[in-house]
A = this chain, B = another copy of it.
């Protein structure tokens, strides 16, 4: 990787654009598409194959699909909000950060797959555990990717709008680490109960609605 790219000469404002602008635009695109593609897995019961059951009853049977849809929508939405806050800390990004971000986008854009899997298998006995474990594993990778992106973004103090003091950085990192451990535990929880696992993911998403980067900003 070329270091020349990380340190463009200060008096060259027209040089290669490494602002956060295009990183955010591309990421927003991936977040927006992944969150909207989820709707493709809400299946309309075929008109001719319901054997006398009413449409209302047929839709009712699909509750695992709606539950999984809502949790995944919330998860992607929260990641977007927190990604927004994270990018707000820095003024430019380097190539390593682009790849850390790409890893996060991989974990986000794959979410429709475990969501579909859980919608199909949430009430399927032993297979429900497998499906829930795949879902939890995806969330674990996402939490790891988010932590790596935080590290990549903040490792170069010169790229930050303002320096983050070491105590705050450690505190924030501890919170991210706790998140990774929590998500790892949900992989184990999958083998206890699939519905419980999805409920815990909903609760974790609500928890992450609250601003995890606030301390980093408040102490400045």
Q: Which of A53-61, A150-158, A170-178, A195-203 contacts B (4 or more CB under 8 A)?
A: A53-61
Contact A91 to B26, CB < 8 A, known contacts A4-B218, A55-B121, A214-B2: no
Complex partner residue of A25 from B28, B39, B77, CB under 8 angstroms: B28
Beyond A47-B124, A99-B81, A106-B73, whether A16 also contacts B54 by CB under 8 A is no
Q: Are B5 and A44 in contact (CB under 8 A)?
A: no
Q: Is the CB of A112 within 8 A of B214?
A: no
**Contact check: which of B1, B29, B55 meets A211 at CB < 8 Å?**
B1
- Please classify the interface of chain A as helix (H, G, I), strand (E, B), loop, or mixed, using the class held by over half of its residues: helix
Q: How many residues of A contact B (CB 8 A)?
A: 76
Closest to A25 in B: B28
Distance (Å) between the CB of A190 and the closest chain B CB? 12
Q: Cβ of A54: which chain B residues have Cβ within 8 Å of it?
A: 126-127, 130
B130 touches A59 (CB 8 A): yes
Say if the beta carbon of A166 comes within 8 Å of chain B.
no
Residue of B nearest to A218 (CB): B4
Other-chain residue from B1, B44, B124, B126 in contact with A113 (beta carbon distance below 8 A): B44
- From B1, B15, B28, B88, A26 is in contact (CB under 8 Å) with B28
Instruction: Knowing that A18-B88, A42-B110, A44-B116 touch, tell me 15 more A-B residue pairs with CB under 8 angstroms.
Output: A5-B214, A15-B162, A17-B87, A22-B28, A26-B31, A30-B36, A36-B37, A44-B113, A47-B127, A54-B127, A54-B130, A55-B124, A55-B130, A59-B130, A80-B102
28 contacts between A and B (CB under 8 A): A2-B210, A2-B218, A4-B214, A4-B217, A5-B217, A14-B91, A14-B161, A16-B161, A25-B28, A30-B35, A30-B36, A32-B32, A32-B33, A36-B37, A37-B37, A37-B39, A37-B40, A39-B111, A46-B120, A47-B124, A47-B127, A54-B126, A54-B127, A55-B121, A56-B127, A59-B134, A77-B105, A95-B209
